[in-house]
Amino acid sequence: MDNIQISKMTILDLESISNTLLSDFDDFWTISIFKSELQNPNSKYLVAKLNNQIVGFGGIWKSPDDIHITNIVVNKNFRRQNIGTIILSHLINLSKKENITSITLEVSSTNIPAQKLYEKLGFKKVGLRKKYYNNTNDAIIMTMEVSNEKK
């Protein structure tokens, strides 16, 4: 989708994503958590907009040598249109500008489309967290190695 605009998430965006959080994502990520995240200097969040409507978002946490992708969410009505790929690509590019060695994430063992997306962009499965999601679904840990040179 060429008409997707990616921008930094702001406090004003939180009202727009509140319904998506409730309907399209797990119960951990709340508006109050996002408010805290937007004030955290080690966190960065992006929104994907189509015709000025937020259709997806994603974020990262930075530690000294690693970036952790915290979430990528696409509104259910806009899935399978490469919006997740666009968000993930922007998060990877944002991450590569930092002096890091790897990017990691967790994905539900039942979320096959997300696993395929991550693999397509260079992530490899490196571990498993048993019953990570709501004490039921396992999380697959995936990592992408990053060149040490700052870009």
Residue pLDDT, tens place only, 84-133: 999 999 999 988 888 888 999 999 999 998 999 999 999 999 999 998 77
The per-residue pLDDT for 146 is 86
Adjacency order of strands within the sheet including 43-50: 4-8, 43-50, 53-62, 66-74, 102-108, 137-145, 124-133
Confidence (pTM): 0.85
Cβ contact 148:101 at 8 Å: yes
- Cα separation, 81 vs 67, in Å, equals 26
The per-residue pLDDT for 89 is 94
Please tell me what DSSP assigns to residue 148.
Answer: S
Q: Does the pLDDT at position 151 exceed 60?
A: no
The per-residue pLDDT for 12 is 86
Quick one: average pLDDT of 66-83? Answer: 89
- Of residues 133 and 71, more confidently modeled: 71
Residues above pLDDT 90, as percent of the chain = 47
Structural Rg of the chain based on CA atoms: 15
Which alpha helices (DSSP H) does the chain contain, by range? 11-24, 31-39, 83-96, 112-120
Q: Does the pLDDT at position 40 exceed 60?
A: yes
- Cα separation, 20 vs 39, in Å, equals 21
Biggest distance spanned by C-alpha atoms of the chain: 40
Of 31-35, 41-45, 123-127, which gets the smallest average pLDDT?
31-35
Task: Give the closest residue to 132 by CA, choosing from 104, 102, 110.
Answer: 110
> Cβ contacts of residue 51 below 8 Å, gap of 6+?
3
Cβ contact 137:107 at 8 Å: no
Residue tagged 């490196």 (tokens): 126
